[in-house]
Structure 1
């Protein structure tokens, strides 16, 4: 009976559904039990570190059996759902969802199984020193753990244990690979701490192991397996970066820095050694071509024995692209290496003269050959690099270097001593090479300018011509450094006439910068000496006038030979700088003149007011006058043969006039002058009158100074009034009246009527004769 009912229900499908539900429930329960046992087993294995290999194998068997049952049920459910979808869709959907959840849990258990298997295989491979295989198994375990973390169906504590186990094993294999790397690549250094010295470099060696060691106890694996293992683990770039930095510091940079250093390659059995030797050389900086050859030799050795190994970017993908190790190392070191080559070689190879620029093509060619060799070894990609761009951009670098050298040389001259002087005469000329001949059109322009100047000169005074020295600088002394500075400016502009347009513009404005620099540096750097020392103030005055004199025509001399961009725009001129230099020299010298005037007046102040010429007062006044004359003579000595004659005479005349004016003012201010006081005042004035002209000695030849001493009234406006004052101190009333001559005599020219009357009242007693004399002064 039961069998009949069962058979009927089976045909109707109800029994099949109940049977499926019962079996799925049983499977679910079994899955949860196995999941618990797996978690417990993993916890013991990776957290508590208990041996559980047998239980793990049993679990694997159970998982496989459950997997087959689930696959069978899944197919039966699919067929039932399709056949009876219109009858019991909901019931079959629930059963299917429950089965899918069990399938997910089971797939995670499979991932755990694969993780465990990968770790076991990794340990076996690492024990046998099969580093590539071990690294691959470790990567498989990493992928399994990543999938487990994405599902988020397991206990976080268990996942943390797995992550920790994976980290420990990765660090373990990296440690072993690091030990193998140190055996394959050995650096030997001397005990010295000065790593940048030549002696340190000569004792530095790099040893590369090129063959697999046959030592039974600790055989050395081939370097390819070590590098490939590093690549699989993602640590190759870090390792090559560290190696590249040491290669730069201890081998490549010394080769680019020391011209006497040479690389030597030795090949003992099973290894290659890179070391250094010293060669005799007189070069201060290494030649770029020689450095390129040395570095190329070292890189060829590394490429042959270390880097000529293509690596798979993805081990599991057979069609993956292959990146050569040389390209990896090149990407690490090339930027620093090219910068080192530029700073230590190419910069110093830039010629100092435009005439040598043509020879620089050899260095450009050697740079290109060097880069092509590196590209052939895959150190570089096909793009043009900064090193070659720098070498090819020689015109710009030449101009920059030339300008820097010019400014440095100019600043050195500006900060040198001012008192070392040379004599400038009207025939003096700047010593520079002859300018290149202008073209035909330029010749015509020069002729037109010359003709125009000549016609203008003739039209000034018909029948006469200007003196050949009319526009020359007068004879004087200037600093030797300033003369060299002006020669430097001419030489730089001469260099610009044979340079490219870009270079010519830079050089031209460098010359302008020289003069701007002089204007700012010299007054500041020599400020104290210019204030204290009259001779240096005079020399600085001459220096400024000398520079201004040349700036007037400097641009015109080169205008037709400079770059068109300068000539056409009318910017090739220095005339705008002339007023500034004239003002600079004048202000400095006038400041010195004011200081000397103050000193003169201070000395005269010790003579009080000449009011009481007793012995003590007369002695003080005589001393003050002597000090004034001594100061003027001392100034005359330090300015003699330094200042131009006309400037010298004007300066000394101004100072002597200051002293004379002060004496005149004090004497004319007196209200009572006794006969004895008048004699003593006359004696003081006589001293000034006799010795004053002697301060006019602009030339070193004594006999040539007499003409300037005779022309004292020309340079000292108060000299004639001073002479008349001396006459009045000794004259009678009649003589004073005669010299006044109704306002037409020399006395009237020197003094006003009120001043003459005041002097008469001070010199003579109040009598009718004095009143009559005063009455004549109108």
Structure 2
């Protein structure tokens, strides 16, 4: 049939080249040629079709046969369907019967499923009941481990069966059989638990009157069947009642063994191991019996050794070296054991003085070793919460140190709040250095570490340093942790002085007072004592504190405070002296009676202030400090008065005499003060001689100038000029301007004065 495939293209049958042009018409010859060729083609196609039909005759006949049968089947189906529809239309109740039959079939199937499910539940209940009965028989037969496993498994199975059967673990609408099963399981569990507890109780016998604990590995159980102790404990572990089963044994062990072993130091613990192969005979006996010899716990090693022996007995013969059993027993007893140890040993071993704290280190070491051994034995866990004894001994040390530190600071505060200083009258006749003072308590006379002097300090400073020394001595005898607390307590106590005393005595420090001098001495004394503390105690401190102990940072601070107090006192005195000198109005017109009296009163005030300061300072200050302070004060007085007198112009002869008299008045009345500057003054030298004045002039250059000014008022003009030219006045501190002004003020204008002034000017220019 390939001839029929495709289509016939007319252009292929013609030979005209321009057939593609639609405007070109076909000629008659072309049309005839086309007709002939189409005829030939059709004949060819007919022949090909006939040939194909002949060659595929069978296939065509089979296809026609199948078509005929299909048509016949369709007609038959149409006829049957028509008959069925006709039957339904003629009998209406038939569809109702079909629906009823379908419902009956469905109901029968549901009933069958329910009966099958009920049959399965009955079978499961029957199996559970049989297993419960077998478990009870196993308990009575001594197969407690198998019975325990059965009880454990039955609990899970019973829960699943109840859920499948519609029960909800005790709901009101559940089938009664489920309640029956639960009751049966509970009774079986209680029976198993009672048997196991009885086995354990019978295996461990306590005889408190004899101080014995007897442990047997095999005893008669139910129906006379022997059950080993470890088997009973394993069964308890399976049904999760190990804590309950061991609770009674643990309580009795605490009551009859641990309490006497810990509270009574005069007991002996021993273990007897008997024939382990003998049935119904004890395997081991623990004896805790009184002893005639009293053992001192000391570092606790004896107590801990005794307890380790008891716990080893428990682990080996009661817990049978099973890690789970040992840990369970430890969990039941460790809290009470640790409390007993703390109550009867550790709390009593805490020292009440720091010097004994170093001995407590042995107790700490033994306690830690004891708990470490218990951890190795699995008696207690590795959790830090179980380390009750270690925590207690470490906390005891810290709490002791903190408490002592608080006590030290409280004592220091009480000492400083009740600041006490020596307050005894000192008369002029009684003035002397502290080192030789009669009637002064040596308790308050302190040596300065870095100066060859003594000073008079307050009672509070004495008590404070005594407290600091005691604290640091305790630190030397303590452990590193406690020593650090003592070290900081000593520092804080010293810092309390700096914080409390200047505030408490603020009013006295703001005025010229003996209290201020005492505070100055205290700070000076403390500054030097502080610098010496590290050298005195560092070598004896625990090694962990030696590098950290520092006091040198505090010394300069205290010294600076002392200097500030002293400087303020000097400035207050100078301020009073300035006010007194100012009242003299520059010592002008002293030839007038009223002005002279005012100047004299001013000088007397200055003398009074200086004598008062002398009386107040000399007995209490260190000698060098006193001389330095008084030198500054006197230097101001002499310099100021000398300056005021040299500034006077046009002085009358009588005025110079009055000024000279005022200078002599001051020098005479300050003789006792001047004597305090001399190292040694014999009784025969009470009146200052030339040698003593020379020493004073070297110490007080302003005094030399002041004394020389008194001489200048008596000297003639030529003598003054010669004294200048010789350098004597320059040595006394006079300047050329001062000498020139003095000459102009005292001497009237004359050729001699001009000559002398020229000589002084020339001499000054040449120098």
TM-score of the aligned structures, taking structure 2 as reference length: 0.47
Larger radius of gyration: 2
TM-score of the aligned structures, taking structure 1 as reference length: 0.47
